Amino acid sequence: MAKMRQRGVSAIAWDDWVMRPVLIVANWKMNTTPADAGRLAAAMAAATDEPLVDRVICPPFVSLTAVGEALRGTGISVGAQNVHAEAFGAYTGEISAPMLAGLATWCIVGHSERRRDDGETDALIGRKLGRCREFGLRAILCVGESLEEREAGQAESTVRNQLAAALAAAASFDGGLDPGLVVAYEPVWAIGTGRTARGSDAAAMADAIRAACAESGVADPAALAVLYGGSVTSASIGEFLAEPSIDGALVGGASLKVDEMAGIVARAALTARARHAAADLAPAGHA
């Protein structure tokens, strides 16, 4: 995709320019109880009232109802952190897509911690994507390379292979690939390690992600939203959102802090406003 190298604004070549939304997703991981989750969600909503930024909060399963009630009417969506690959069955302790329908509208799939701690394979993750599509959950597919893979020069090939395998499995479900799919790039080597990725690293990988998705049959890869998910904070988010190919962030630890999320969303709003301003300049049919 051609790019306009003005900070925070996507491509200016009107023949292939697409204005993608700006999306901030809060992943609370295994934190909060239902009682404090509702209070935290309400505080987040009050502190991040930016209508041009799409916002999603993903609490633990047990807090989905409390968070949904707290966010009603705020414009913030609710997401789940995981889903089982089967719709029903003898899977003790698991949560399926039809169980989530009505409690959440989004779902994180293939998070690096699920891959690392639960041995999730790309094929399994692809089946989860298909199940999300089947039951109306919009999926956020996580991909990313380890430090060893990056140092071996295999970062891009690792991510491309993850996408190819997952999307192939998802495409076998009725309805095929979800046109609303979002991909989150998680450089595993930059999560909780003290190492930091650069905006240019994430931008290069975002371009590779869209190219890989095009090869896997995604209908409109230029419109595919790509998030950055490597230990994002209010201090670091600006470098990533300055890249035209990055459309937001999947936020971990910082998403439990109201002030941090307020700063992240405020910076995302600058990018969103810049994109809307660019869209206003686009010739008819290209915004």
Residues 88-131: pLDDT tens digits?
999 999 999 999 999 999 999 999 999 999 999 999 999 999 99
Question: Bridge-partner residues for 77, per DSSP?
Answer: 56
- What's this model's pTM, rounded to 2 decimal places? 0.92
pLDDT mean over 269-274: 97
Q: Is 15 helix (H, G, I), strand (E, B) or coil?
A: coil
Of the residues 50, 84, 111, 156, only one is catalytic, namely 111
Residues 24-50: pLDDT tens digits?
999 999 999 999 999 999 999 999 999
Q: Please give the Cα distance from 39 to 44 (Å, whole number).
A: 9
286 annotated active-site: no
Nearest to 182 by CA among 217, 144, 139, 120: 139
Q: Please give the Cα distance from 282 to 287 (Å, whole number).
A: 6
> What's the pLDDT score for residue 14?
39
Map out the domains of the chain with their CATH numbers.
22-281 (3.20.20.70)
Dihedral Cα 195, 28, 164, 10, nearest 10 deg:
-70
Task: Classify residue 82 by its DSSP letter.
Answer: -
Of the residues 50, 113, 120, 186, only one is catalytic, namely 186
84 annotated active-site: no
Question: Bridge-partner residues for 140, per DSSP?
Answer: 108, 182
Q: Please give the Cα distance from 74 to 186 (Å, whole number).
A: 28
Question: Kind and range of the H or E element at 27?
Answer: strand 22-27
Dihedral Cα 172, 174, 176, 178, nearest 10 deg:
-130
**DSSP secondary structure letters along 123-192:** HHHHHHHHHHHHTTPEEEEEE---HHHHHTT-HHHHHHHHHHHHHHHHHTSTT-S-TT-EEEE--GGGSS
